[in-house]
Structure formats: structure tokens, C-alpha cells
Amino acid sequence: MKNYRIFKNFINEEECNILSSWIMDNKDNVFFTDANMKGRRLTTKYSNNFKFPPISYQIQKKIIKRLKLKNFYLANFKDGMVASYAEPGDTCYLHKDPVWVEDTITIHANIKLSNNEGGEPIIEDEKIKLNKKDMWTYPVSNVNHGSDIVLGEKPRIMWVFGFSINKKTCQSIYE
């Protein structure tokens, strides 16, 4: 079984612009907080008192359809989604995420929203090269993952969609 799967150009330019603008317009609000990843990253992961843009729910449905998810739970954060803003200098140590629901595997489907230098995901010591609008999905409760340092002057922004799925579904995604 592979540790990840990449979907090139998973979203279109308009969808990317809406999600990116939402992050840039809101990153200074109280609901964006430190990601607690020992870097320079802000996230919506620990907040609930705000509204995501409607397009994010449409993209979530597209992911569910594309990954053929049937019996699943949304991850244990607001509506199963997280918006992330990582400043230059940010990095994320290798770690595994928790299993939120007993007898499931936690997966993330992340979408890169920016053209930035560095900040590439690292999955089991493999650096993954991605472009803006690409989605990568991986079983975050099973594999060590983190990210390389964000270089240059532009932040790395991304959207995270999280799910708890059974082992059989997970195997079908990453075969």
C-alpha cells in the first residue's frame, strides 16, 4: 500500500482563489490560532465560532465522491476542515495524527492554494513536490508526516479536509 496519493489540479482557479482569499482575509481574526506544530503556522483547527466559505463544502463533497467514501466520519474539527496559513520560516516536525474514531484510520485530503517556495509535505521521509491546486491525501494516523521549511517571502496556504474511514476503504484509496 502506498503512503499517499496525489490528484493534480484537483480544484480550478476560481475555487482556489476563493479559498485563498478567505484565508488571507481572515488570518488575523481570533479564530486563526497557533497550530502548535513548533512552527510559524496559523490554523482554524481549534476554533468553531466562524463560517467557512460555501465553496469549501462543495469541494468536500467532490473529495468524498472522488475517494468513493461511503461509511465515514468527518475529522474532529469544525465541519471536518481546517484552513492553514504558514509564514516563511514555518516547518512541521514528523508526527502521526490521532485516530478520532475507534477502529478507523484518519486520512487528510490537503489542497495547496499557493505558489510558494519550500513548505513541501514530507511523508515517511519522502518530500512531495506539489503545485498550486493539487490535492494530496494520506493516512495521517498511520504514517509519519510533516513539512519542509517555507522559504522565500510568500506564505504557504492550504486547506485540509479530514475523514475517519475503515481499513478496507483506506486500502482501496492507496492501493
Kindly report, residue by residue over 65-95, the tens digit of the pLDDT: 999 999 999 999 999 999 999 999 999 889 9
What does the block give as the cell for 174?
492507496
Q: Find the CATH number of the domain harbouring 146.
A: 2.60.120.620
Task: Say if CB 19 and CB 158 are below 8 A apart.
Answer: no
Closest Cα partner for 82 from 91, 74, 71? 74
C-alpha–C-alpha distance, residues 50 and 45, integer Å: 12
Name the domain count of the chain. Answer: 1
- pLDDT tens track for 146-166: 999 999 999 999 999 999 999
The three-point CA angle 83-88-94 to 5° equals 70
Report the residue count for the chain. 175
* pTM for this entry: 0.95
Q: How many other β-carbons are positioned within 10 Å of the β-carbon of residue 92? A: 21
